């Protein structure tokens, strides 16, 4: 038995052993993790307190998932994150089935390794995010759509394909890229086009639309707040050509997919062999090219669209994440025909394992470890919330306010979760604009009309504006937590200045209102005014 035959025969066992082993490891780490919720997770938890067809900035699936996990296990951090590693394991198993069907078991093993050891997936397996919720449905839709293309999908599978696409849309609007992939593969691939232009093709599209329709009805009844937030998030109101953003985007994608895997992906896409070069290579080579071209339909549009978005304005590293399930399968097939890349692939996987292990160790270790390595800034968003909330709870007990007012979205979500056992008064986010611009700002402001409001302010430049909305303003000290130091030595601190206020009478949010809180500096430039501004670190 040759080495390749041995690997081919045992690839399924190795792949599923890897899936099961990493799932067990990640579940254990998740339960033992000392990391607190970051703001987005706390927001999703709040949404998950009730079942709706939509929420302020996202479709409903992530809230439904958290509703289920917290109903089963309570409201602890690990319970909120419970399904994150499970969903990625499901996605990996489905990708194995797809890669084995498209190529062979060895390619499927490479696919599972690429996906589960992707830096973005290592991180996403420890937090609850919309990408993590989306991926199992995306992967299932990809697998079933390929089977439809092969004319090996019955009516039950066709219904499942439509449901997977519809639920994908309920998980994240990035499922739109899957629809683009369907259109693109229909244009370039005759078997796909033939499969879609059938009653089954019409059926899965109709089912997907029917599954997604209740969310759009909810949006219509709620001023399309979820859709409008997604448009706002594109941030296309500024300068619309920033070519210098492109290198950062490419670097971010190497960080998400893995440096060697991303370079191999780009190389494989750029050097897809044209038909003219395959004339003498037989049906196998033609079949390999057709499969890689088909997968490229679910990879290239995402990368191009997000790269353009990065150049026009900005793009977060994870915005192109939906390219990488198909990219993992692509890499599996690519390594079959480009065996010279395998040593580099294994070196890249080794590097990712080392870096991932160090990152996990740092996250699980005492804060003194991250301080010693100058990495406190990496973990500041998931530390200190419980301590800060306990301090504020004691101040609330002392001052007996009728409401708490904060001036930062992340602070609102952190306190909303970690004050849940200590708070009997409303928690409100002050509005800079005339109307709400995020979920926390949607909390009713009526409770501010009461006579005793405790302002817990994080932003010194917003304090003059908040003070102007109240008739009285009395300093009451501060609460705060030290979070270590930045890499330049400057201290990291989350501090809330406290002020007891009364008689809320908000000023109109006009251009004159904005200007009255500005002063000219020595160069004649307008600068924000501040109250109790923290001393700036000389090293910053």
Residue range(s) defining the domain that contains residue 116: 11-217+241-363
Whether residue 356 is found in the same domain as residue 413: no
Whether residue 73 is found in the same domain as residue 103: yes
Whether residue 304 is found in the same domain as residue 393: no
Residue 4, domain member (yes or no): no
What Rg, from alpha-carbon coordinates, does the chain have?
A: 26
Give pLDDT, residue 540.
47
> For residues 296 and 302, what is the distance between their CA atoms, to the nearest angstrom?
10
Residue 236, domain member (yes or no): no
Q: Return all residues near 521 (Cβ < 8 A) that are at least 6 apart.
A: 527
> For residues 226 and 249, what is the distance between their CA atoms, to the nearest angstrom?
26
CB 165 within 8 A of CB 175: yes
> For residues 530 and 524, what is the distance between their CA atoms, to the nearest angstrom?
18
Whether residue 331 is found in the same domain as residue 455: no
> For residues 407 and 431, what is the distance between their CA atoms, to the nearest angstrom?
8
DSSP symbol at 273? P
Give pLDDT, residue 424.
87
Residue 232, domain member (yes or no): no
- Pick the last residue of a domain from 330, 363, 396: 363
The side-by-side arrangement of strands in the sheet containing 403-406 is 427-429, 403-406, 453-457, 491-504, 470-485
Whether residue 250 is found in the same domain as residue 325: yes
> For residues 103 and 109, what is the distance between their CA atoms, to the nearest angstrom?
11
Whether residue 335 is found in the same domain as residue 397: no
Residue 231, domain member (yes or no): no
Q: Mind giving me the DSSP string for 281-343?
A: THHHHHHHHHHHHHHHTTTHHHHHHHHHHHHHT---GGGGGGGHHHHHHHHHHHHHH-GGGHH
Nearest to 419 by CA among 438, 403, 436: 403
**What domain count does the chain have?**
2
Half-sphere exposure of 213 (CA within 13 A, CB side): 8
Whether residue 323 is found in the same domain as residue 422: no
Q: What is the dihedral of CA 113, 116, 120, 122, to 10 degrees?
A: -120
Give pLDDT, residue 281.
43
- Pick the last residue of a domain from 302, 334, 363: 363
Give pLDDT, residue 233.
60
> For residues 59 and 240, what is the distance between their CA atoms, to the nearest angstrom?
28
Helices 61-73, 155-171: inter-axial angle, 10-degree rounding: 90
- Pick the last residue of a domain from 363, 394, 427: 363
Q: Return all residues near 441 (Cβ < 8 A) that are at least 6 apart.
A: 409, 429, 431, 433, 435
* CA 422 to chain CA mean position, Å: 29
Whether residue 57 is found in the same domain as residue 178: yes
Whether residue 201 is found in the same domain as residue 277: yes
Whether residue 348 is found in the same domain as residue 426: no
Residue 235, domain member (yes or no): no
Whether residue 122 is found in the same domain as residue 256: yes
Residue 375, domain member (yes or no): no
Residue by residue, pLDDT tens for the chain (540 residues) are 555 676 777 999 999 999 999 999 999 999 999 999 999 999 999 999 999 999 988 999 999 999 999 999 999 999 999 999 999 999 999 999 999 999 999 999 999 999 999 999 999 999 999 999 999 999 999 999 999 999 999 999 999 999 999 999 999 999 999 999 999 999 999 999 999 999 999 999 999 999 999 999 999 988 787 776 665 565 555 555 667 788 898 999 999 999 999 999 999 998 765 454 444 444 556 678 899 999 999 999 999 999 998 888 778 889 999 999 999 999 999 999 888 999 999 999 999 999 999 999 999 999 999 998 889 999 999 999 999 999 999 999 999 999 999 999 999 999 999 999 888 899 999 999 888 888 898 888 887 877 799 999 999 999 999 999 999 999 999 999 999 998 888 999 999 999 999 999 999 999 889 889 998 877 778 889 999 999 888 754
Whether residue 518 is found in the same domain as residue 483: yes
């Amino acid at each position: 038995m040759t080495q390749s035959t041995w690997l081919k025969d045992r690839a399924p066992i190795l792949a599923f052993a890897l899936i099961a082993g990493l799932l067990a490891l990640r579940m254990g780490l998740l339960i033992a993790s000392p990391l607190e919720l970051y703001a987005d997770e706390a927001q999703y938890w709040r949404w998950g307190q009730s079942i709706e067809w939509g929420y302020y900035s996202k479709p409903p699936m992530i809230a439904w998932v958290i509703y289920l996990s917290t109903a089963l296990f309570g409201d602890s951090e690990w319970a909120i994150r419970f399904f994150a590693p499970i969903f990625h394991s499901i996605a990996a198993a489905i990708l194995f089935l797809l890669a084995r069907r498209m190529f062979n078991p060895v390619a499927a093993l490479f696919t599972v390794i690429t996906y589960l050891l992707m830096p973005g997936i290592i991180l996403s397996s420890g937090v609850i995010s919309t990408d993590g919720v989306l991926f199992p449905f995306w992967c299932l839709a990809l697998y079933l759509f390929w089977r439809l293309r092969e004319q090996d999908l019955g009516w039950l599978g066709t219904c499942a394909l439509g449901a997977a696409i519809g639920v994908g849309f309920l998980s994240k609007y990035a499922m739109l890229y899957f629809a683009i992939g369907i259109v693109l593969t229909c244009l370039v691939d005759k078997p796909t086009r033939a499969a879609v232009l059938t009653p089954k093709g019409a059926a899965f599209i109709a089912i997907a639309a029917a599954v997604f329709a209740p969310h759009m009805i909810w949006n219509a009844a709620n001023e399309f707040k979820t859709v409008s937030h997604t448009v706002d998030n594109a941030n296309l109101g500024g300068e619309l050509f920033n070519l210098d953003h492109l290198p950062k985007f490419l670097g971010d994608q190497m960080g998400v997919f893995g440096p060697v895997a991303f370079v191999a992906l780009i190389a494989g896409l750029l050097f897809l062999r044209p038909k003219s070069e395959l004339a003498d290579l037989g049906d196998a080579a033609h079949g390999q090219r057709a499969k890689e071209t088909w997968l490229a339909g679910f990879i290239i549009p995402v990368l191009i669209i997000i790269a353009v978005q990065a150049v026009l304005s900005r793009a977060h590293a994870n915005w192109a994440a939906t390219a990488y399930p198909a990219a993992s399968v692509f890499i599996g097939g690519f390594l079959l025909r480009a065996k010279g890349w395998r040593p580099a692939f294994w070196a890249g996987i080794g590097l990712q394992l080392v870096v991932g292990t160090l990152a996990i160790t740092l996250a699980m270790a005492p804060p003194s470890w991250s301080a010693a390595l100058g990495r406190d800034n990496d973990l500041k968003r998931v530390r200190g919330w419980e301590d800060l909330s306990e301090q504020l709870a004691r101040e609330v007990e002392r001052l007996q306010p009728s409401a708490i007012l904060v001036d930062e979205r992340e602070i609102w979500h952190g306190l909303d979760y970690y004050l849940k056992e200590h708070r009997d008064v409303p928690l409100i986010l002050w509005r800079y604009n005339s109307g709400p611009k995020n979920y926390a700002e949607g909390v009713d402001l009526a409770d501010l009309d009461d006579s005793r409001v405790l302002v817990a302010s994080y932003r010194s430049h917003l304090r003059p504006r908040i003070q102007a909305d109240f008739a009285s303003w009395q300093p009451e000290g501060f609460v705060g937590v030290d979070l270590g130091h930045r890499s330049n030595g400057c201290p990291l601190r989350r501090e809330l200045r406290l002020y007891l206020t009364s008689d809320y009478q908000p000023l109109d949010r006009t251009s004159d209102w904005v200007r009255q809180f500005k002063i000219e500096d020595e160069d004649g430039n307008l600068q924000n005014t501040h109250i109790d501004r923290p001393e700036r670190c000389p090293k910053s």
